[in-house]
């Protein structure tokens, strides 16, 4: 038997649910959803969808049956209203013996409307064609074996490429992260037809399309589908370009999930988010080998670059993506982000044929990098802030200088930091900085990617793998943990683990560059 609880369709078990049996085109279906169907009425973090419908579909036949289970036992009716019901599918397998005997069921969820985007309830991307959920089941069943084989082939390909990029333990971390990174998003379109791939900031504050959640998760999507990467930026660009957001910096988010009606986070992250948007646009340009996406948003990118040229080098007291660590002035790693973003803007200007702007911004970024090296220097490493010597932090933002081939910072800066970090590791990883012993596993892998030697990269990976496989906290993969005992500090099930794929992204881009050289 396969049994699914109707609690999958409610926020709390006390909510009333209607379950029913349906048949369509030789398919048997069980369907359940709340009687209230308050579509997009519930928002926030620790809440569950209580609108839309859960389906379980199987091919009809003499050996399969479906029924609805109530707390008192099997229902006598094909339609039942109540609480905590169950949907049961039963197969008679008869004598199995040594033969390959399988049965297939399709589980699906129709959320009716996925998100609200500036007042407009938007359907899921799959609804772009006219077929209803019920009409799709026969197609899905017919496609099952092809999809299964394609999925198995992809699993093997991902694992092989990850192992070739970063070793066995790195590959296993990527496998752990893959589904979670994708699942923490909704795929839909804007009223204008633009793709929207909107994240939920799980187990944090429930924001939708948070830019500093998009930033760490980006490597996975840059590897496999840069159109999804565009879908993560499109809403933020629209927010500024529509005039709904009037500040000369990028917004932090588009609202509280699933309502993307405008920023709800109480404080801006000016350098953080503006830098993130410019860097990620440059990553799309590099990956697509085309300036089209940057050209489309050049005016907005220019506004943000002008802001960073004035305020980015020596940041005021403000939050960065590591907002859980509190405000920080003169943040050296945040300064790196601004410098790299300005270099990325200059690089994109060159792609678009504006050599004057390109030279201006690349020169500015290189001059800033030289000043940074002097101001952040702290003996055998670079400090957490410009004014606090005897401190340190992971300079994970440097990784885009390396991947985008901006060459703003000398390679010695990477090597100096990597050598220092290798002596700061604890049993379960490298701390985020000198203030505390907790860490962010996504940032460690970015930091590790600064290493030139494979053995140094794998030395950073080993404690993260130990955390992922030995942590005493039994939750979906968490990205904020304690390096001394491996316990979760906070966050889980978040899309940011897409950042684990950054070493694979480096390898992909190196191969692209090699192919381009050979073709010339």
Task: Give residue 132's pLDDT.
Answer: 87
- Does 430 have pLDDT greater than 90? yes
* Confidence class for position 65, pLDDT limits 50, 70, 90: very high
Task: Give residue 75's pLDDT.
Answer: 96
**How far is Cα of residue 519 from the mean position of the Cα atoms in its chain?**
34
Number of helices and strands (H, E) in the chain?
Answer: 14, 19
Cα dihedral sign for 411, 414, 418, 419?
positive
CA gap 394, 424 in Å, rounded: 11
* Confidence class for position 93, pLDDT limits 50, 70, 90: confident
A 10 A CB-CB count for 509 gives: 18
CA gap 124, 131 in Å, rounded: 13
Q: How does pLDDT run across 458-498, given as a tens digit for each residue?
A: 999 999 999 999 999 999 999 999 999 999 999 999 999 99
- Could you give the count of Cα atoms lying within 13 Å of 4 in the half-sphere of its Cβ? 23
Tell me the three state secondary structure of residue 238. helix
Q: Find the mean pLDDT for residues 201-226.
A: 97
- Does 100 have pLDDT greater than 90? no
Q: Find the mean pLDDT for residues 263-286.
A: 98
* Confidence class for position 359, pLDDT limits 50, 70, 90: very high
DSSP 166: H
* Confidence class for position 97, pLDDT limits 50, 70, 90: confident
A 10 A CB-CB count for 358 gives: 18
* Confidence class for position 338, pLDDT limits 50, 70, 90: very high
Task: Give residue 14's pLDDT.
Answer: 97
| CA nearest to 90, candidates 141, 25, 30 | 30
Cβ 263 vs Cβ 250: under 8 Å: no
| CA nearest to 281, candidates 327, 341, 337 | 341
> Whole-model pTM?
0.97
Tell me the three state secondary structure of residue 475. coil
Measured at the CA of 446, the angle between CA 454 and CA 176, to 5 degrees, comes to 85
* Confidence class for position 323, pLDDT limits 50, 70, 90: confident
- Does 273 have pLDDT greater than 80? yes
Cα dihedral sign for 483, 488, 489, 491?
positive
Mean pLDDT of the chain: 96
Cβ 90 vs Cβ 1: under 8 Å: yes
149: its two tokens: 């084989």
CA gap 321, 397 in Å, rounded: 11
Helix (H) or strand (E) holding 189: strand 185-189
Owner of token pair 């699942």: 183
355: its two tokens: 């050599």
* Confidence class for position 130, pLDDT limits 50, 70, 90: confident
Task: Give residue 31's pLDDT.
Answer: 98
pLDDT > 90: what percent of the chain?
94
Owner of token pair 């993307």: 260
Q: Find the mean pLDDT for residues 78-87.
A: 97
Q: Find the mean pLDDT for residues 254-280.
A: 98
- Does 99 have pLDDT greater than 80? no
Task: Give residue 235's pLDDT.
Answer: 98
- Quick one: angle between helices 355-376 and 332-351, nearest 10? 160
- Does 96 have pLDDT greater than 80? no
Q: How does pLDDT run across 135-176, given as a tens digit for each residue?
A: 899 999 999 999 999 999 999 999 999 999 999 999 999 999
pLDDT > 70: what percent of the chain?
100
- Does 372 have pLDDT greater than 80? yes
Task: Give residue 95's pLDDT.
Answer: 73
Cβ 229 vs Cβ 277: under 8 Å: no
For residue 432, give every residue at least 6 positions away whose Cβ sits within 8 Å of its Cβ, in sequence order, or none.
Answer: 322, 325, 393, 394, 438, 439, 440, 443
Residues linked to residue 124 through DSSP beta bridges, in sequence order: 188
Distances (CA, A) of 2 to 5, 20, 68, 72, 252: 10, 16, 12, 19, 43
Tell me the three state secondary structure of residue 196. strand
CA gap 461, 463 in Å, rounded: 6
Cβ 307 vs Cβ 270: under 8 Å: yes
CA gap 357, 363 in Å, rounded: 10
225: its two tokens: 């589908």
CA gap 198, 188 in Å, rounded: 8
* Confidence class for position 405, pLDDT limits 50, 70, 90: very high
For residue 99, give every residue at least 6 positions away whose Cβ sits within 8 Å of its Cβ, in sequence order, or none.
Answer: none
* Confidence class for position 313, pLDDT limits 50, 70, 90: very high
- Does 98 have pLDDT greater than 90? no
Task: Give residue 507's pLDDT.
Answer: 98
Task: Give residue 128's pLDDT.
Answer: 84
CA gap 218, 201 in Å, rounded: 14
Task: Give residue 167's pLDDT.
Answer: 98
Tell me the three state secondary structure of residue 131. coil
């Amino acid at each position: 038997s396969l049994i699914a609880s109707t609690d999958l369709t409610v926020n709390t078990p006390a909510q009333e649910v209607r379950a029913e049996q349906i048949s369509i085109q030789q398919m048997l279906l069980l369907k359940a959803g709340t009687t209230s169907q308050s579509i997009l009425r519930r928002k926030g973090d620790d809440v569950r969808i209580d609108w839309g419908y859960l389906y379980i579909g199987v091919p009809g036949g003499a050996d399969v049956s479906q029924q609805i289970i109530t707390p008192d036992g099997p229902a006598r009716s094909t339609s039942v209203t109540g609480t905590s019901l169950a949907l049961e599918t039963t197969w008679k397998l008869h004598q199995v013996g040594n033969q390959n005997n399988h049965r297939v069921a399709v589980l699906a969820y129709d959320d009716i409307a996925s998100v609200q985007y500036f007042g407009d309830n938007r359907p899921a991307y799959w609804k772009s064609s006219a077929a209803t959920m019920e009409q799709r089941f026969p197609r899905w069943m017919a496609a099952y074996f092809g999809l299964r084989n394609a999925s198995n082939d992809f699993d093997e390909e991902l694992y092989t490429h990850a192992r070739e990029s970063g070793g066995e333990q790195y590959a296993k971390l990527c496998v752990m992260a893959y589904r979670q990174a994708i699942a923490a998003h909704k795929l839909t379109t804007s009223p204008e037809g633009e793709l929207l791939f909107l994240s939920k900031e799980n187990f944090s504050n429930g924001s939708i399309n948070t830019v500093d959640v998009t930033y760490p998760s980006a490597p996975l999507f840059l590897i496999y589908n840069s159109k999804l990467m565009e879908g993560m930026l499109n809403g933020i660009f629209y927010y500024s370009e529509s005039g709904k957001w009037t500040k000369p910096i990028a917004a932090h988010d588009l609202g509280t999930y699933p309502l993307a009606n405008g920023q709800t986070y109480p404080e801006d992250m000016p350098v953080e988010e503006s830098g993130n948007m410019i860097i990620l646009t440059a990553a799309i340009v590099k990956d697509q080998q085309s300036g089209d996406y940057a050209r489309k948003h050049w005016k907005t990118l220019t506004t943000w670059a002008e802001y960073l040229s004035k305020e980015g080098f020596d940041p005021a007291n403000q939050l960065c993506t590591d907002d859980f660590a509190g405000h920080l002035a003169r943040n050296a790693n945040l300064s790196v982000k601004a410098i790299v973003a300005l270099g990325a803007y200059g690089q994109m200007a060159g792609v678009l044929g504006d050599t004057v702007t390109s030279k201006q911004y690349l020169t500015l970024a290189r001059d800033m990098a030289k000043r940074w090296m002097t101001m952040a220097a702290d003996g055998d490493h670079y400090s957490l802030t410009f004014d606090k010597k005897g401190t340190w932090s992971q300079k994970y933002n440097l990784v885009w200088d390396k991947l985008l081939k901006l060459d703003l910072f000398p390679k010695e800066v990477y090597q100096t930091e990597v050598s220092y970090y290798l002596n700061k590791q604890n049993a379960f990883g490298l701390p985020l900085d000198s203030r505390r012993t907790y860490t962010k596993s996504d940032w460690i892998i970015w930091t590790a990617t600064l290493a030139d030697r494979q053995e140094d990269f794998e030395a950073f990976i080993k404690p993260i793998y130990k955390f992922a496989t030995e942590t005493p906290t039994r939750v979906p993969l968490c990205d904020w943990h304690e390096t001394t005992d491996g316990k979760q500090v906070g966050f889980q099930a978040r899309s940011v683990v897409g950042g684990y794929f950054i070493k694979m992204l480096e390898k992909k881009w190196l191969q692209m560059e090699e192919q381009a050289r050979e073709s010339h």
